Structure 1
């Protein structure tokens, strides 16, 4: 199953507690909690380019399954990590203390980010 598409953020849960625990300042959390994002994924075999755009800001990451790469994070830092497939429609990456699982299901992209006992869930719809 190919992940290549654009996805529009439909809903998200537990945004504020998750952003606080990763160190985002309260004023930025307040500004960002109702913002929508567009996620664009371009997949060529095991190579991925992912761009998440919120207004005029974008986070861009490129990776190949099983190879360590530098990831840009929401805090602006870079973290070395390795992305692994879990079945045909799910990939997992551990970014220091944050585990990110992305799963494609028909026309939806589900992203689950977990740190400790706090989980932030994002559901995006294919556009």
Structure 2
């Protein structure tokens, strides 16, 4: 249950390069650069609800069960099917354009998104 709770973005490394690579328009990249995203996670055993709330009040919620294919959605509204795995305390899932992992390190939520050789690392504190 380490992921459960409310998290607030502290830092983002590789933001611009990652966003450009996955096709986000420059004006959206500029607007979102300083966003402090709130991530709300509930966990009941292997069942998760993972919501990201943006300062614009845009909200994306993905509900999934570890090891089972689930319906997912990107912030851009693209719907896809994916299976989230949990290995060594790290959640892992492949989105349409990148691979995403989440783990708790030193009491912080570390989200890593990789597309080719480009990596975005978002660190959040529990609030």
**TM-score interval, smaller chain:** over 0.9
Aligned equivalents of 2:120, 2:10: Cα separation in 1: 14
1:42 Cα shift? 0.1
Unaligned runs of 5+ in 2: none
Match runs of 1:87-98 below 5 Å: 87=88, 89-98=89-98
Structure 2 SS opposite 1:27? helix
Cα contact 2:7–2:124 (8 A) shared by 1: yes
1:106 Cα shift? 4.0
Task: Report the more deviating stretch, 98-107 or 38-47.
Answer: 98-107
How large is the RMSD of aligned CA atoms in angstroms? 1.1
Q: Quick check: 1:85 aligned with 2:80?
A: no
Structure 2 SS opposite 1:41? strand
Aligned equivalents of 1:78, 1:16: Cα separation in 2: 23
Aligned equivalents of 2:124, 2:54: Cα separation in 1: 13
Q: 2:10 maps to which residue?
A: 10
1:70 Cα shift? 1.6
Task: Report the more deviating stretch, 38-47 or 94-103.
Answer: 94-103
Structure 1 SS opposite 2:94? strand
Match runs of 1:32-71 below 5 Å: 32-55=32-55, 56-71=57-72
Cα contact 1:39–1:50 (8 A) shared by 2: yes
1:115 Cα shift? 0.4
